[in-house]
Amino acid sequence: MHARQVNAIFVTLALVFGLTLVFLPREVTSQLPPAVTRFAGPTASQPLALTGDDSFLLVVNPDNNTLTAFDVRADRNRKLIELPVQGEPNGVAVLPDGTKAYVANTVSGTVTAFRLNLRNGIVRLIRHIPVGTEPYGVALTPNGRKLYVSNARSNTVSVIDTASDTVTKTIVNVGVEPRGIAISNNGDDNDNDETVYVTQFLASANPNHTDGSDDAKLGQVTVISTATDAVVGTVALNPIADTGFNANGDALARIAPGPNFIFQTGAYPNQLNNIAILGGFAFVPSTGASPNGPVRFDVNTQSLLSAINRATNADANVTLNMHTAVQAQLSLDRTFITVPWAMAFKHTANNGYVVSAASDLVVKLAVNPMTGAAAVQSDPVDPTRVLQIATGKNPRGIVINSIDTRAYIMNYVSRDVTVIDLTGPREAVMEEMRSAALPTPGTPADTIQIGKELYNSSLGEFDPATPAGPPITRRMSQDGWGSCAACHPNGLSDGVTWIINSGPRRAIAQHATFDQTDPTRSIQRALNWSATFDEVEDFELFIRNVSGGDGLIVLTDGVTPDPIVFAFNPLANGGRNQLKVRGVGAWDALKAYVQFGIRSPISPVSKTEPQVIAGRAIFIAANCQQCHGGAQWTTSRVRFTPPPSAGIVNVNGEIIGELRKVGTFDPAAFNEVRATGAAPLGANGYNPPSLLSVLLNRDSFFHNGAARSLDEVLQNVTHRAAGTGGVDTLSNAADRAAVVRFLQSIDAASVPIP
């Protein structure tokens, strides 16, 4: 029978039985090396994975809902196939013998299992396995018998038996928003003596510490035993007392900024996306939060690497601030290691690599195997500089082959893979492999993609000011230190209460800035807790004044920052002369991303649960919709065309009509202070936040983090009676519990209350 006829029969069977069969080029079907049955070292969750024999690389494409396979044998680095999966794949793992792959589909709540037979050029869909809500990370035990899945919104870990491809257990009590997974390798074929480490993405409250202080929170890593598939402990990752960068004031001490940078700053680990094991230690990169004022680019966020002593399952207290190595380099052309998102270690040396998601680079570490202390390595070609290897846009994952000759970097925004040669005296980029298609240039999707690129970048790359000139770069922050995503990962919130120029302000998720039910996204809420901005473009002030960048609004020469930038009068910032990226205005693209590109978190709580239905009715009866009604779950609106006319904004720059006094302002609270040390805004009330953000809060609610839970939120009588003229209709604890359950159910699929 002719080969085309055989292929046609297989394709027909695939359509009939719901299989995915992919025939690869003849070259790929050549004999592979003997199957590998066990990974040589620990395993970890990543958005890309290598087969155990280093022959094939699998990469997820979250924005395309696909999985790409590459042939990387002998540096072929050739794309084989791009397979459809389900909604927003963020993690992938492959059995050590390369016969199966598993993909975590975050939006769909599933893990897709594929049968791989690359020797014969066939990939077959097995099934989509239902797990928890928003599965993110997947990691296999070294022998490949169990797959662990972190379910970020249902706060669980699913255990999948890879022989039957079924969930055998759901582990609860793993903490809030589990993300990264690393699994030890004890060197035998037994699943009953490994340890699973799972990061909790956002830090938790440090007992007896107030939000806004540099030691307000603790990073958390959950420890699970593979013998029982149960939680056996939690490791608290401690703040560091000295970041190595001084401030010129101390807001919480009520010391205004002065001329001298003499005030020591600390930071706590936050945004724990990934974890990796080397010997007796597990390492966690994180964006360190240093929220105490004054606000300044080089004291607010840091680049931390924490180490866990695996013998004691405790913080090894050797936390490294990777920014200090860049600060100390003799070359003044600095790029800081902003938003460290993922890392991987070599198998035969005490070296690791950390990817900086905002600065588009990789740095090399050397680790002391006895203490866990790490050090950022200098460039062997130029010892005056930190070794920094360029990647594509917004790197979010890294894997290293088993013989330590190649590293592969998944670049989320540019949708490609950077291949790095690890064999020379200096690591070098070999090539970029396209993983998935980018939007068609000039389309609305392309504009959103450009906005996503800028939102996640600490640098920015813009069109030349003149046709023959070089591209304009490094405008988003000073020395590549900050990015929008540094405080708003994936456009959401880092959970930090920052002491900023208006007072203590918990970072607000930006997915509810515009009415998501409006196809034009023209309905916008007032911005910030004190309603001090009326346009997304007003955050030009943050780029300049907080991140230290030159900004995106320019004079007619296309380069010089326009000095006349206001939050309000006398000008609107929207539509002004902007830097451009591929012909698109930078702020036009950033606004499009905020309007259309940020997904709301998904609730694990059923809308039909009896307590939820009861809570909704009680919520309505208490007229909570007076502040939290409408499609955005907030009544806040910009009800004028910027800039505002006289009388709309008060002397503090607040849009007065959008503020609500609901008993949440306590001028005597320790953290109620401005970054300058002065008294905060708040006496006029606050801009109602969207309840679509409630899922993101861990143990920090209200503008200043004063409430530790939703139950505490509803214990504030003035707040809960604000919709009924002060009449308390929520004095019954059972009613409040029902309202809390209803609040926990709210997401984009909830029917808004008018």
Q: pTM, whole model, 2 decimals?
A: 0.94
Residue 150 and residue 136 in contact, taking contact as beta carbons nearer than 8 Å: yes
Q: Please report the pLDDT score of residue 16 as a whole number.
A: 34
- What backbone phi and psi angles, to 5 degrees, belong to 539? -75, 0
Lowest mean pLDDT among 12-16, 80-84, 728-732: 12-16
CA distance 144 to 163: 9
Q: Please report the pLDDT score of residue 117 as a whole number.
A: 85
**Each residue's pLDDT tens digit, 604-641:** 999 999 999 999 999 999 999 999 999 999 999 999 99
Q: Please report the pLDDT score of residue 188 as a whole number.
A: 74
Q: Please report the pLDDT score of residue 144 as a whole number.
A: 95
CA distance 55 to 44: 19
**pLDDT at residue 19 tops 50:** no
**pLDDT at residue 652 tops 90:** yes
CA distance 545 to 567: 12
Closest CA to 103 of 42, 49, 161, 52: 49
The 10 Å Cβ neighbour count of residue 746 is 27
Length of the chain: 754
Q: Please report the pLDDT score of residue 34 as a whole number.
A: 43
321-341: average pLDDT? 96
Partners of residue 209 on adjacent β-strands: none
**Each residue's pLDDT tens digit, 537-580:** 999 999 999 999 999 999 999 999 999 999 998 899 999 999 99
**pLDDT at residue 33 tops 60:** no
**Each residue's pLDDT tens digit, 346-405:** 999 999 999 999 999 999 999 999 999 999 999 999 999 999 999 999 999 999 999 999
The 10 Å Cβ neighbour count of residue 453 is 23
Q: Please report the pLDDT score of residue 143 as a whole number.
A: 92
Confidence of residue 655 (pLDDT cuts 50, 70, 90): very high
Confidence of residue 122 (pLDDT cuts 50, 70, 90): confident
Confidence of residue 417 (pLDDT cuts 50, 70, 90): very high
CA distances from 197 to 46, 278, 503, 700 (A): 14, 13, 37, 25
**pLDDT at residue 36 tops 80:** no
Q: Please report the pLDDT score of residue 40 as a whole number.
A: 83
645-660: average pLDDT? 95
**pLDDT at residue 482 tops 60:** yes
Q: Please report the pLDDT score of residue 523 as a whole number.
A: 95
Q: Please report the pLDDT score of residue 38 as a whole number.
A: 78
**pLDDT at residue 11 tops 60:** no
708-714: average pLDDT? 97
Residue 392 and residue 414 in contact, taking contact as beta carbons nearer than 8 Å: yes
Q: Please report the pLDDT score of residue 4 as a whole number.
A: 37
Confidence of residue 331 (pLDDT cuts 50, 70, 90): confident
Q: Please report the pLDDT score of residue 118 as a whole number.
A: 75
Q: Please report the pLDDT score of residue 101 as a whole number.
A: 97
**Each residue's pLDDT tens digit, 139-164:** 999 999 999 999 999 999 999 999 99
Burial state string for 434-447 with b = 16 or more CB within 10 A and e = fewer than 16: ebbeeeeeeeebbb
Helix/strand/coil percent split, the chain, to 5? 15, 30, 55
Partners of residue 510 on adjacent β-strands: none
**DSSP, res 514:** B
CA distances from 129 to 149, 156, 160 (A): 11, 15, 9
DSSP 730-742: --SHHHHHHHHHH
Could you give the percent of the chain with pLDDT greater than 90? 90
Confidence of residue 23 (pLDDT cuts 50, 70, 90): very low
CA geometry: angle 259, 262, 263, nearest 5 deg? 115
CA distance 340 to 318: 17
Residue 496 and residue 511 in contact, taking contact as beta carbons nearer than 8 Å: no
Averaged pLDDT of the chain: 93
Residue 526 and residue 567 in contact, taking contact as beta carbons nearer than 8 Å: no
The 10 Å Cβ neighbour count of residue 483 is 29
Q: Please report the pLDDT score of residue 27 as a whole number.
A: 38
CA distance 279 to 348: 11
CA distance 709 to 736: 12
Closest CA to 480 of 304, 380, 361, 352: 361
Q: Please report the pLDDT score of residue 12 as a whole number.
A: 33
**Each residue's pLDDT tens digit, 176-202:** 999 999 999 987 777 778 999 999 999
Q: Please report the pLDDT score of residue 7 as a whole number.
A: 39
